Structures are given as C-alpha cells and as structure tokens.
Amino acid sequence: MHNGLAFLDAPSPNFDERALPVTMIVLHYTGMESGEAALARLRDPEAKVSAHYMVEEDGTIHRLVPEDKRAWHAGRSHWRGIKDVNSASVGIEIVNPGHEHGYRPFPAEQMGALIPLVAEIKERYGITRGNVVGHSDVAPARKQDPGELFNWHALARLRLALPRPTRNLMDPGWPDAGFIMALERFGYDVTDETAAVTAFQRRFRPEMIDGEIDMECRCLLLALLLPKPQGDD
C-alpha cells in the first residue's frame, strides 16, 4: 500500500537499470482487446515491453516493475531534450482497447485509481506538471495513446498535468516555422512536423485533430509557454 493505494504484484522480467533520475510520468493505453491480454504481454520475456504499473478499467492497479528500475514502455522517444525517456520516467499503462480495437472513454473507476497513483508518484519525485505526458507526446510520429478521449482535464484540475489554456489567449501571429520552433521549445520532437502538430492537438485540442497549424493552436501554445498557464478550472 502507498498512501492507501492497493497494488496487485504482477512482476515483469522486462526491465534494466536506470541511467537517469526520474523526472517524468508517461501515460499509455494498452491498445489490446483485454486487460488480461495486455498483462500477459507486459510480462512476456519475448515481447520485451513492460511498464511500472497497469491500471484496469475497474481501477485495479498491477505493479509490474519496481520504480527504481527502467521499464520498457516508451520505445524511441524524446521529450524536452531527454532521449532515453525510459530511464527518466515512470510508465503507466491504462487498459483501453485503443484506436485499433474499439477505442472508448476511460471509465470513472479507472480514472479514480489513476489520479491518486499519478499524484503520489509526481509528489515523490517532484515531477513538474509539464512532464506528465502521454506516449503520443514523446513519440508523435509513432503513437496516438492515451489519445483524444483520455481525460487530461481531470488531471489538470488537480495540478497533475498542464491545463488546456482558456484565459488570456492571444495569437502571437507566428508563421508556421515559428510555431514549429515554439513546439520544439515546449518539448516535442518536431522531426515529423505534421506528427508533432497532431500530437499537440490530440493533447490540447482533442475535438479537432487535423495536423494543421491555425490561430487556436498558436494561442494555446503561446499560453502554455508562459510561466503559469491558466485553464481547466
């Protein structure tokens, strides 16, 4: 038990040693037909994937890899200058069929278990709001999870993730190249520019994900780059 959180231990052999201190939390969806199938894969030595925790739709939390070890969840990824995201992060898999198997909203029981788990990890390592990210944020060209149906708002309201800015929005009028530079400054890998814009929208403007830079995207990104983004009240 951590602060009242109960875990089921389901050790995975898929880990190695960390090379960096923990400064991030990366949220994923499992993207498989069932939680059972995902748990089996995360513990399969052949699959070579794992996470520190997996949260079932009913709120059950499985603990797979000790936090002081490097779980294998992020793959090739990059965030705010960190390329070995696995070494610098705690990875949490959230059971959901994902875009390939019938993507659906994340149930209240699941969010109710995830939120205190994120809060506890964030506090223990002193992780900033801007470093609680989705897999699509750190690997925009490859990943879409946890996706546009994930309730980032619920985390942001509790200061567990950055909010979608809603106040003092101003259009900086950047040309597209300026937006891409600002997106890189914010933390994204912009090697594939359209993928980076799409990942930004999936996270901060989920109702319209078209990969096109527009005024609303510029306003949101500028607000996020300011010292204290306001929103999600």
**Type of residue numbered 142:** R
Q: Other CB atoms closer than 10 Å to residue 157's CB: what's the count?
A: 15
Q: Name which of 63, 58, 59 is nearest 39 in CA terms.
A: 63
CA 43 to chain centre: 21
Catalytic (active site) residue 93: yes
Q: Name which of 61, 62, 89 is nearest 75 in CA terms.
A: 89
The 3-state DSSP composition of the chain as helix, strand, coil percent (nearest 5) reads: 35, 15, 50
Q: Name which of 114, 113, 115, 152 is nearest 133 in CA terms.
A: 152
Catalytic entry in 57, 93, 148, 193? 93
Close Cβ partners of 102 (under 8 Å, ≥ 6 residues apart): none
Catalytic site positions: 93
